[in-house]
Structures are given as structure tokens and as C-alpha cells.
Chain A
Amino acid sequence: MKFINYLESIAGIEIFPLISLLVFSLFFIALIFYVIKADKKYIEHMQQIPFEQESQNK
């Protein structure tokens, strides 16, 4: 029987999942970094947006 799974024979395909993981990890680290650095006043303002129906816009 010669039914090997031909799709698996792409050269170097194992690298794909690794690249994906790396891309996500970098993305995630950058994300955490910036979120921690976020300005407190800004965060407070954002949280209040649903509640300031008629309030003045700064």
C-alpha cells in the first residue's frame, strides 16, 4: 500500500506551528507590557464611558 499522506511531505512544514507560537508569544508579551503601562486616568475614563450619558465630553 502506498497511501502515505502526501500533504505531510511539504518540506519543513513542522516549522509552521512553531512560527505561529512565536508570533503569538511576541504579540502577547507586547500586549501585556503596554497594558501595564497604560495611563490610569485613561483607564478610569474608559470604564466610565457607558455611564456618562449626558455628561460633558472632556
Chain B
Amino acid sequence: MEQEKFYYDNKIVKLFAYATIFWGLIGMTVGLLAALQLVFPALNFNWAPTTFGRVRPVHTNAVIFAFVGNGIFTGVYYSLQRLCKARMFSDKLSKIHFWGWQLIIVFAALTLFAGFTTSKEYAELEWPLDIAITLIWVVFGWNMFGTILQRRERHLYVAIWFYIATFVTVAVLHIVNSLEIPVSFLKSYSLYAGVQDALVQWWYGHNAVAFFLTTPYLGLMYYFIPKAAERPVYSYRLSIIHFWALIFLYIWAGPHHLLYTALPDWAQSLGVVFSIMLLAPSWGGMINGLLTLRGAWDKVRESVELKFLVVAVTAYGMATFEGPMLSLKNVNAIAHYTDWIVAHVHVGALGWNGFLTFGMLYWLYPKLFGRALYSQKLANFHFWIATIGILFYAIPMYWAGFTQSLMWKEFTAEGFLKYPNFLETVTKLAPLYALRSLGGVLYLAGFVVMIYNLIKTAQLGQPVTDEEAYAAPLTKEYLPHSKDHWHRVIERKPIQMLVWSLVVILIGGIIEMVPTFLIQSNVPTIASVKPYTPLELQGRDIYVREGCYTCHSQMIRPFRSETERYGEYSKAGEFVYDHPFQWGSKRTGPDLARIGGKYPDSWHFNHMEDPTTMSPGSIMPAYPWLIDDVLDVNSTPAKIRVMQTLGVPYPAGFDQIAVKHLTEQATKISQGLKKDGIEVKEDSEIIALIAYLQRLGTDIKAEKTAQN
């Protein structure tokens, strides 16, 4: 068979590698800022864009979609070409993909800092960016499939299956979770409300971890570990099982983020069962990765990239063991809303994604620049300081999680909460938060050392931009191996692979969600739960804009420790007008589901202006600008109309009188404040926020009084 000469495109790989490093530095630095803000609230700088509620989404989005995202593309563009023995399908598409993605990241950071957010975790970007992401994702898929169709290797190696599953599933997740109705250019309301919104969001949130942080990186693992160790994967059979079982099971597990919430019980049980089963394929994959190194452990001692890869796979094993444990209801009851979860995700993010990326980069740079790594010593230093960094991060966070959870739940002999003041359970954590920040500093320091090492390598080397390669084209007629195996048939046909992956993930998604949606029309709403007034709606949007949900939950679980502290536990029917839901996932501050009526308006005013006046030692940011900034009432009619479209029962024509209604309510609140000696303009934003806070959780109290 005649050999064809062709060139691998290394330039695009290099660009993505640069972007990975650049955004990694930014994303982690922002993360460090967020960590420090919880120790030194002054670092919120009394400026909206730098408050924790905005910084945290920038951090999570940056490390997931900018750092890991570009890491995925670096690895995929390098390995896909080699595994297909073909250059990327189109240089132009590669370029559009690269620059499009970077542009999205820049706009993502700008809009999030500016407070444009949907408040759905890891899907905070507003609708124009959602559309841009969809388009660029299609470009990526098109380029990938184009390459696969032009391949010179008949069979698709397991890494490519993981890439294909990633592509389809992320597309489905992103589109379903981002369905929203625009109010204006940078504001929209989720199509779903309350329980349904929560279910869709955590189906997405969980699978963003699965199909953005895990499956593509498993693909990279199956390519780069064998390459770095110079030996084939331990068991290819196991990898087939790993792949199919993993993508099948992952998609069901989302509800484990909502245990003990108002989500129906059957959906919770489904989430738990499938989460436990996930342990098997995850560990199958980990074992497969580690055993690839059997008999090559001497190599691991010598090669820094293998060291990173081994720790990465080990961290994957730890995180995927812990995940199923956390989905057990009794463990979840302790861990949820605490720093335990923060520790868990960072074992995954710093250990698995971070170390795999570093291992890959240390292996890749010498290939891309035609020279050995500038300094093995510095790379080893990076390895050790980053490992220590992870320990300093994770251990204090686990400690903080346990401590706080125990304090929340502790009762005195007389049957009262031992720590009725939530703040006590926060100030206790300050030293642990400080240690965690130190862990972050160490990890980041290692990262900077890596950057220096890689830049030096690039400077001293000769870039290999278009790498020459030879391979024979595929022949039309295919002579099968002895007997044709079903899997080989699928895997010769990439489009079938895509369709099957899609079928497998859709089964889970559909069974999980359809029942909840089918009954939408017959969820009898609790009679006393009424739509928000226009002023409250505006206040709610301020709550969303400032990212209060990053520190406050609005979901009281049915435990005595919670009903004692916060009041009646939350019911599904209370959230039917919540587009989007605001259940939150972390209680850095107390739950707010029933904050309405707990304090006078003046308390909230003073607390928002400077939390420490009402709660000495509070780590909540101050929001003084809410007092000066004027509420944009002009957006009210449009917001009411969108809510009506979504099925919120405002009377017809209400949009026309909404502003009048809003002004009346605002006047009342500002007059009330005046009585308490607080002078504030009635059109200031804080009035709307106070209206919203005072409404929270009060509807069912009204029902109770009506019944008595």
C-alpha cells in the first residue's frame, strides 16, 4: 500500500496550550482572591465587581471552561490527529474554534464581573454567550468529525470515543439547561421554575463535571499515559467497559445534589442508586490507568510527567470514591452545604484535572519544541509543591466541613441549638480558611514555576509547527478480522458511535426528567403562594446579580436542626414562580428561605450597608452601592411580560400598571425606614432588595394563619 505524506498541525496545539496556561493562571489567582475574601472581607474592596458573589462564578467558570476547556482542546487536537493519522480537517475551523473560544472567555469574565448572570452554577453566562458557545462547540465537533472521516486508521481508539461522547453530551446538556427567555440583551429568565429548574440545573451541573471535567480527560489519560510510559494500556477490554458503563451511569446521578430537598423522593433514590454504581466503572478506569504502569514504576521515579499523571489518576480514584459516598443520604445530610463539598471538588480539580494537564504539558512541550524540557529540577519542584498545596487545601476544608456541620446540628441537653447564632459557626472556620488559602498559594506558586520552565523550553527549542508523517490511506474494501465483532462495527463508523452515545445518555436524562415535567400542569400550587410583586421581582434580580446564592441557600431540609434554626422546611409548591430557582449549594451564610419578617427593614438596611454593624465579625461583603444606585424601573413591564409567558399568573395588562405598583410599595418601605431614622431615596436599589428579602418564605406563614 502506497504511503501518503502529510503534516500534523502542531501550531493549533501550541495555541491551545498557551491559552490553557494563561487562563489557568488567571482562574487560579481569582480563586485565591475568593479564598482570601473569606478570611479578610476587606478584600471585597467595597466594589460590586470584586465582591465574593461575583468573583466566585468568575473563578469556577475560568478554571472549568477556560483552563480545563483549553486543556481538553490541547490534548484532543494533538492526540486526535495522531490517532487518526490525519491532519485536522480544516485549519480555518481550528482557528475559528480557538479564537471563538477565547473571545467567549473574555466576554464571560467581563459580563460576570459586571453582574450579568443567570445564577445557574457553571452555566451563569447570559443568553447571547450561550448561543456563541453553542456555535463554537459545533465548529469543534465539525472539525473533529471531519478529521475522523478523513482518517487513515480504520479503528477508533478508545480516547476518541471519549471525545465523541463529550461532544454530544455537552451539547445536549448545554442546550437543555440554557433554555431561557430573554428580557433584554443581557438578562433572561429560565424556562423552568423551582423544583424543575433545580432538577435540570443539577442534571447539568453534575454532568458538567462528568462530561467536561471527566470524560475528555479520561480520553487524554488513555492517550497520554500509554505514550508517556511507552507501553499500551493495561486492558483494552476494560476500557470498553469503562467507557460504556461510565457514560450510561453518569447521566442519572444528578439528583444526588438535591437530597433532602423538595425534589420528589423517587428522583432522589434514583440519583443515589446510580451514584453508588458509578463507583465501579470509575475505579475500573483508574485501575486501568495505574496498571498501565505495571513493571514500569522505575520510569515513574525518573519521569516527572509520569509522576503528575499517576497522582492525577489517583486523585480521580479518590474523588470518584468520595462522590458515591457523598450521595449516601446520611453522609449527604452532614456534608451538603459545607466546605466538605469544596474539598471534594478541589481534589478533583487540583488533583485530577490540574495534574493531568501538567503531566500532559510537560510531555508535550518537548515534542512541540524539539528539545528536552528546560529543567527537570524545576518540574520536580513543581510536582512537590503542588502536591503539598493540595494537602494544605483539602485537609483544612474537610476539617471545616465537619466542624461546621457538627456545630449546626448540636443541641444542648435542654433541647436548644447549642450555636443558635450562625455566625459563631463561621468565625470558628477562619484559621482553616487561612490554611486553605496557603494551600492555594503553594499550588499557584508551582504553577508559576511551570510557566517559567515551559517558556524557557519554548525559547531554547525549535518549534515543530508542521510535523511530517506518513500513512497509507484507507482502502475501500475492508477485510474483517476472523469474525466481526459488534463493537468493531460501531467503532469503524464514527457517526454510529455518536448516535449510540447519544441514545445511552438520553435514556438516563429522559427517565430522570420526564415525569417531573409531565405533571407540571397538575402540580397544585399551594394556594397562598403568590407571584412576586414587581418590586420584589426587581429585588430578586438584584439578589441574582450580586450572587448572594454563592453564600446563601434557600432550601430548608426537613431536619430538626434546620427547622429549629430556620423554620418550617421548604416545600416544592413554594417555588413554582421561581425562574430561576435560588436554592444555592453552599451555606457560607445562613439559609434565607424564611428570612422574611425575621428582622425589621432597618436591620436589613444597616446589614447590607455594612454587615459587621449588625453582626460583628461577619465575613459577608458590604453592599453600600445598593443605597446609592437607582433601580431601573423601566425594565419592569418587560420582566412582567416574560414571567407571564412563562406561566406566572399576573393578571392581563399587569405590565402596564406594574411600575405604579412598584413605586407604591417602595414608598411604603422608605417611609417605614424613615420612622427608624434612616433616610433613603425610595427609588434606590436597596428598597427592592429589602422587599424581596422580607417576602421570602412568608407565603406559607400566611396560609397557617388563615387556617388557624
Query: Which one of B179-187, B241-249, B421-429, B444-452 contacts A?
Result: B241-249
Nearest A residue to B487 by beta-carbon distance? Answer: A34
With A43-B237, A50-B232 in contact, do A24 and B226 touch (Cβ < 8 Å)? no
Give the residue of A6, A16, A39 whose beta carbon is less than 8 angstroms from that of B266.
A16
A-B contacts besides A5-B262, A55-B471, 7 pairs, CB < 8 Å: A7-B264, A16-B511, A17-B266, A38-B240, A42-B481, A50-B223, A50-B232
Least Cβ distance of A34 to chain B in Å?
6
Binding site for A on B (CB under 8 A): 1, 3, 79, 82-83, 85, 152-155, 157-159, 195, 223, 226-227, 232-233, 236-237, 240-241, 244-245, 248-249, 252, 262-266, 269-270, 273-274, 277, 469-474, 481-483, 485-488, 504, 507-508, 511, 515-516, 518-519, 522-524, 526, 571-573, 700, 704, 707
- A1-58: which have CB < 8 Å to B? 1, 3, 5-8, 10, 13-14, 16-17, 19-21, 23-24, 27-28, 31-32, 34-39, 41-43, 45-51, 53-57
Least Cβ distance of A31 to chain B in Å?
5
With A47-B232, A49-B153, A49-B155 in contact, do A54 and B266 touch (Cβ < 8 Å)? no
Q: Are A46 and B572 closer than 8 Å at their CB atoms?
A: no
A41 to B274, alpha carbons, bound, how many Å?
A: 34
Nearest B residue to A54 by beta-carbon distance? Answer: B470
Q: Are A51 and B232 closer than 8 Å at their CB atoms?
A: yes
Q: Which residues of B contact A37 (CB under 8 A)?
A: 485
Q: Which residues of B contact A51 (CB under 8 A)?
A: 226-227, 232
A1 to B704, alpha carbons, bound, how many Å?
A: 7
Q: Which residues of A contact B154 (CB under 8 A)?
A: 57
With A17-B273, A35-B240, A38-B237 in contact, do A57 and B1 touch (Cβ < 8 Å)? yes
Least Cβ distance of B128 to chain A in Å?
34
Least Cβ distance of B433 to chain A in Å?
37
B79, B82, B481, B483 interface centre (most CB from chain A within 10 Å): B481
Least Cβ distance of B564 to chain A in Å?
18
Q: Which residues of A contact B155 (CB under 8 A)?
A: 42, 45-46, 49
Q: Which residues of A contact B153 (CB under 8 A)?
A: 49, 57
A7 to B232, alpha carbons, bound, how many Å?
A: 51
Q: Which residues of B contact A14 (CB under 8 A)?
A: 266
With A35-B240, A57-B472 in contact, do A8 and B232 touch (Cβ < 8 Å)? no
Q: Are A53 and B82 closer than 8 Å at their CB atoms?
A: yes
Q: Are B248 and A48 closer than 8 Å at their CB atoms?
A: no
A47 to B234, alpha carbons, bound, how many Å?
A: 9
Q: Which residues of B contact A56 (CB under 8 A)?
A: 1, 3, 472
A10 to B526, alpha carbons, bound, how many Å?
A: 17
Instruction: Pull 16 A–B residue pairs with CB atoms less than 8 Å apart, ordered by A.
Output: A3-B573, A5-B571, A24-B248, A38-B485, A39-B481, A41-B482, A42-B488, A43-B237, A46-B155, A46-B158, A46-B236, A49-B157, A50-B157, A56-B1, A56-B3, A57-B85
Q: Which residues of A contact B244 (CB under 8 A)?
A: 27, 31
Give the residue of B270, B277, B472, B522 whose beta carbon is less than 8 angstroms from that of A16.
B270
Q: Are B573 and A6 closer than 8 Å at their CB atoms?
A: yes
Least Cβ distance of A52 to chain B in Å?
8
Q: Which residues of B contact A39 (CB under 8 A)?
A: 481-483, 485, 488
Least Cβ distance of A28 to chain B in Å?
6
Q: Which residues of B contact A53 (CB under 8 A)?
A: 82, 85, 469
Nearest A residue to B233 by beta-carbon distance? Answer: A47
A50 to B155, alpha carbons, bound, how many Å?
A: 11
Q: Are A3 and B571 closer than 8 Å at their CB atoms?
A: yes
Least Cβ distance of B478 to chain A in Å?
10
Nearest A residue to B570 by beta-carbon distance? Answer: A3
Nearest A residue to B527 by beta-carbon distance? Answer: A2
Least Cβ distance of B325 to chain A in Å?
20
Q: Which residues of B contact A34 (CB under 8 A)?
A: 485-487
Q: Are A21 and B273 closer than 8 Å at their CB atoms?
A: yes
A7 to B262, alpha carbons, bound, how many Å?
A: 9
Give the residue of A6, A24, A36 whose beta carbon is less than 8 angstroms from that of B277.
A24
Give the residue of A17, A50, A57 whose beta carbon is less than 8 angstroms from that of B269.
A17
